[in-house]
Amino acid sequence: MNTEGEGVGITTLLRKGNMSYTRMTKLLSELVGAGLLLEMNQDKISKYMISDRGVQFLGAYHNFENFAQSFGLRL
Amino acid sequence: MVADTNFAVIQDILQFIGAFVSLSIAYVSFRGVRQTESTSLLRLTTAFAFLGLGFLVEAIVGASYYYPQLAMLTTTVVVAGLLLETTGYFFLAFSHAIDVMISKRLGYALLVFPMISLSGPQLSDILSILSFYFVLYGVVETLFAYARNRNPDTLLIAGGLALIGMGTFIQWLSLLYFQVDVLSLVQIITKEVGLMVLFIPVLNFTLGGKRIVGPV
């Protein structure tokens, strides 16, 4: 998944995420709804790509994760 | 008399610096809560908010040197400040305790509690010793976290908490040996240095943290 390119399909996500199909589709729906992922329909196949907002969120999450880890805590 | 006034002024300034540092940490943690909805950061926010308020309240004690009419409130204010500080240290220790429960690891610092809980009946003494215990627990758990993640900032925070712990212990001593004025100054200086060390992750955070580069 990257900010340039065609995105990835759900099969790749299922393989890397090690989740059930139902759980993955629910998660993807929530992430798309929150604007963190972009869903692209090409030839009846859905592909997913991280949005700019998603990149910003990941950056902020990493920052706060480091901040919490400094105090010996987990996010 | 002049020396007493100088002591009071220095203590007051240090209390305000302590309040600023604590509330800054609370603010950054609060921003984290809003963005990530993390309960760990919420507890951290609560801990440092109480600490900051505790320092502010204790600064009022110093103000009694300029406004003698406030002197009658000194004992109440000292206890109130200690109570707020102890609550802050409690939330800090509580955050680590939750982490321990989640990771099912034994909190070794809990074993220290019975040995240092013996204290005089005065509320200030009890609050000081409780503060010391909570901070000590935080130090041990932070060191365990360092052993796990090998993050240099974590080791720094453990050092800062250790200094704060030392400061709270000296604070307890200053309540027992109240005729020794220098103990009061030493405890606040030690705590301030500890807080400055705790401020480093805040500086790292505000000056720029990790950026996502390349594919995610």
So where are chain A's domains? 8-70
What residues contact B114, with CB distance under 8 A and at least 6 apart?
none
CB B14 within 8 A of CB B22: no
- Residues B100-138 have pLDDT tens digits of 776 655 555 555 554 455 544 467 778 888 888 889 889
Residue reference for tokens 């400040």: B81
Q: Helix %, strand %, coil % for chain A, to 5? A: 55, 20, 30
What residues contact B185, with CB distance under 8 A and at least 6 apart?
B7, B10, B11
For chain B, say whether A60 makes contact (Cβ under 8 Å): yes
CB B204: neighbour CB atoms within 10 A?
A: 15
CB B150: neighbour CB atoms within 10 A?
A: 9
pLDDT of the residue at A30: 93
Under an 8 A CB cutoff, do B44 and A68 touch?
yes
pLDDT of the residue at A36: 92
How large a percentage of chain A has pLDDT more than 90?
Answer: 39
Q: Is the pLDDT of residue B48 over 90?
A: yes
Residue from B36, B96, B134 to probe the interface with A (highest A Cβ count within 10 Å): B36
The complex's ipTM? 0.74
Q: Which CATH architecture has domain A8-70?
A: Orthogonal Bundle (1.10)
User: Chain-wide mean pLDDT for chain B?
Assistant: 80
Is 0.90 topped by the overall pTM? Answer: no
Q: b vs e for A33-53, b when ≥16 Cβ sit within 10 Å of the residue's Cβ?
A: eeebbbeeeeeeeebbbbbee
* Nearest chain A Cα distance for residue B5, angstroms: 36
